[in-house]
Structure 1
Amino acid sequence: MGMNTLDNNKKRICMIVQQPDVQGGIAAVTSGYYGSVLEQDYDIRYVESYCNGSKLKKLTKALKGYAEFSKVLKEFKPELVHMHTSFGASFYRMQPFLFMAKKRGIPVVDHLHGADFKSFYTEASDKKKSTIKKIYGKFDRIIVLSEEWKTTMSEVVSVNKMTVIENYSKPLKEDEVEPLVDKRFADKKVLFLGELGQRKGGYDFADIVKEAQSKDPDIKFIFCGSGSEADEKAIKEAVYGASKSNREKISFPGWVRGADKDKFLREAALFMLPSYQEGLPMSILDAMGYGLPIVSTEVGGIPQLVDEGVSGKLSKAGDTKAIGSAIADLLKDRSKYEAASKASLSIARERFGFDAHVERLERVYEEILK
């Protein structure tokens, strides 16, 4: 459907998104909307505001996004704008979209995926805090990813303005997962997907590997992701150093997507995410959708995803001994492992299915459009 062809039977929504190939959770969430039931129920235009690459490339993308949005406002005339944002640079990048929409009296929903509230708000100056409150006050609704984030954000915005909509999983069928269990358990591959850096626990990898392999030297680790050059170098050196006699059991395949990501998720025995800060990580939801037990930390919305002792194990962030031990324990007992795998898949299906996510989203749209 071209820009000037309006479907008069459907409400018009403009969604501000990242380029689909951007690394990270926001693009993973919005990619699921393309071609989905959401597009059947509403006439949706996507405007991309962010891409991977140099600062210049990102700035150029944002400027093109503002120009395109201006055109969409004039020609498509959206009745609602749905933005996907985070903290940090994203907070500044989204403001022109917000002001342009509000100038035309169009309601704006912010879908907040941010994780590092501490450096963004808690440690900010009083002047910055006041600006942050003022900007968030302009949104008609803010979607947060968990009850925990609703409480955190209540320092900034009224709880009446917030709606909790968890991220979603698109789980495999049980009969797809069951045949994988034996080989997974035998191969003992531990998978990580995400940014290689401080926030996702990258500097804890070495100690976790050391602890787990001291209990079972057959455990393998696959760290899929990328980070800054300095972070990648330091993390890889530390991990290879910690696994001297087991180097062939460690791999860093880089950032994976599509068929490669699917292959790693199918072959992995369990999923590890030793994060220090999180919203509601799509990587865990993806892993649960493949029936992987989870070993992670008690941060952000993670305790809402993982049933402690049932579908996986949660430890305090930085407790590398507990995380390493939890991995070894899960890969030691076949029946305990299979039970955790089944629980993970069932939670993904029953509590975090895509259809329920879209239903909640459409409820927010309808409340505002009324």
Structure 2
Amino acid sequence: MAQLGRRLAARGHDVTVFCRTNYVPERLPSFNGIRLRHLPTVGTKHMDAIVHSALSTLAAMRERPDIVHYHALGPGLCAPLPRYLSGVRVVQTIHGHDDRGQKWGRAARSVLRTARWTSERVPHAVIAVSRLSAEEYGRTRPGTTVYIPNGVEAPQSSPPASLIQEYGLRPGRYALFVGRLIPDKAVDVLIRAFRELPGDMDLAVVGGSAFTGEHVALLHSLAAADPRIRMIGYAYGEHLAALYEHAAVYVQPSWTEGMPLTVLEAMSHGLPLVLSEIRGHTDLLAPLSPAARFFPPGDSGALAAQLGLVLRDLDAERAAAESRREWLFREYSWESAAANTEDLYRSLVAALR
């Protein structure tokens, strides 16, 4: 959102982003040309997104913008309000398959299935960031689904190794995972696999709870059995960039993914990849062969074997990963994403007029 918003603002558009006060403690009025509006919510697992989305929708409708743009399934439950009660155009970006996530119980999944149904019928246009979502929405709403993948930026500098040493890590001597600690990410599979590997390589797990405290406690208990596994928690800015920059390999064992930005970030730093063989990963890298070492999702033994192969010849693996960076920045460009989004906005507004 930040990358896309600032580029749209630079193209001369008035961009307003609604921020949750429990996520963003600062109350900046603007950032990179984007107007920020800070609205409250109910900070619980099931109410957080929908309450904030409802308040933001009502606030946006009062301002009568040309476009109201929702991101993800849950917030899109509010899309009927601007679609049918005002003259604005509604766009919804589908980032993943939230209605299939293991994080949610039966009732929440039912609500998200309703959100999926709404997303297939209410918005004037849907942006799919993954090829799988583009295929699925293309079947249910042909002609109004646009495939616009997210982008990635080339790292501007090399963060110092001292930033990772704060976590007890050594440059080039750790495998890395970055993401929310939710069941869908299968970090438990990664930890079990890593515990099978001999040697003094470490594992850095970067991320924290997303209203998943019980699952996070399980992961910490699994990690406690191996002193090589470091549960870092959330990291941002230079610290996160340093964790990518100085890692040996990036691992993502997810059960499901939409369009995984963390994989793009890892590739931007020239990291070898070990990924679960799911559409979110294979579609992302489809033109490249070989692009990564894949393993069947949930198979900790196969993950350990693929990770072991990478670690046995890191120099060759890193050289191959470096050779793919030029393709990456050409294929997944934020400038292209902003231009294509702008084109979509213009076509919707022109149709309205």
Shorter chain as denominator, the TM-score bin is 0.7 to 0.9
Match runs of 1:32-47 below 5 Å? 32-47=3-18
Match runs of 1:152-301 below 5 Å? 152-154=136-138, 157-172=140-155, 187-211=172-196, 213-214=197-198, 217-227=199-209, 228-241=212-225, 243=226, 247=227, 249-301=228-280
Q: Which moved more, 1:32-41 or 1:140-149?
A: 32-41
Alignment CA distance shift 1:52-1:338 (3 Å): same
Check whether the contact 2:270–2:318 (CA below 8 A) recurs between aligned residues.
no
Identity in percent: 17
Alignment CA distance shift 1:237-1:51 (3 Å): same
* Alignment partners' CA distance in 2, 1:232 and 1:265: 22
For residue 139 of structure 1, report the CA deviation from its aligned partner: 0.8
Alignment CA distance shift 1:221-1:365 (3 Å): same
For residue 71 of structure 1, report the CA deviation from its aligned partner: 4.2
Equivalent position SS for 2:4: coil
Q: Which moved more, 1:264-273 or 1:359-368?
A: 359-368
Check whether the contact 1:223–1:252 (CA below 8 A) recurs between aligned residues.
yes
Check whether the contact 2:174–2:202 (CA below 8 A) recurs between aligned residues.
yes
Normalised by the size of structure 2, how large is the TM-score? 0.78
* Alignment partners' CA distance in 1, 2:112 and 2:52: 27
Name 1:23's counterpart in structure 2: none
Letter of the 2:327 counterpart: I
User: Could you list the per-position Cα deviations for residues 155-189 of structure 1 after superposition, in whole angstroms to 9, with x for gaps in the alignment?
Assistant: 6x32322111112111226x969x9xxxx997331
Check whether the contact 2:96–2:133 (CA below 8 A) recurs between aligned residues.
no
Match runs of 1:66-85 below 5 Å? 66-67=54-55, 69-74=57-62, 76-85=63-72
Name 2:28's counterpart in structure 1: none
Give the one of 124, 134, 142 matched to 1:150.
Answer: 134
Letter of the 2:58 counterpart: S
Letter of the 1:84 counterpart: H
For residue 97 of structure 1, report the CA deviation from its aligned partner: 4.6
Give the one of 81, 86, 107 matched to 1:99.
Answer: 81
Check whether the contact 2:295–2:303 (CA below 8 A) recurs between aligned residues.
yes
Equivalent position SS for 2:42: helix
Name 1:9's counterpart in structure 2: none
1:314 aligns with 2:330: no
For residue 257 of structure 1, report the CA deviation from its aligned partner: 1.2
For residue 255 of structure 1, report the CA deviation from its aligned partner: 1.0
* Alignment partners' CA distance in 2, 1:147 and 1:367: 22
1 or 2, which has the higher helix percentage?
1
Check whether the contact 1:169–1:353 (CA below 8 A) recurs between aligned residues.
yes
Aligned length: 318
For residue 78 of structure 1, report the CA deviation from its aligned partner: 0.9
* Alignment partners' CA distance in 2, 1:151 and 1:36: 27
* Alignment partners' CA distance in 2, 1:210 and 1:127: 38
User: Could you list the per-position Cα deviations for residues 228-263 of structure 1 after superposition, in whole angstroms to 9, with x for gaps in the alignment?
Assistant: 22212211222332x3xxx1x221110111122112
Letter of the 1:44 counterpart: V
Which stretches in structure 2 are left out of the alignment for 5+ residues? 25-39, 162-168
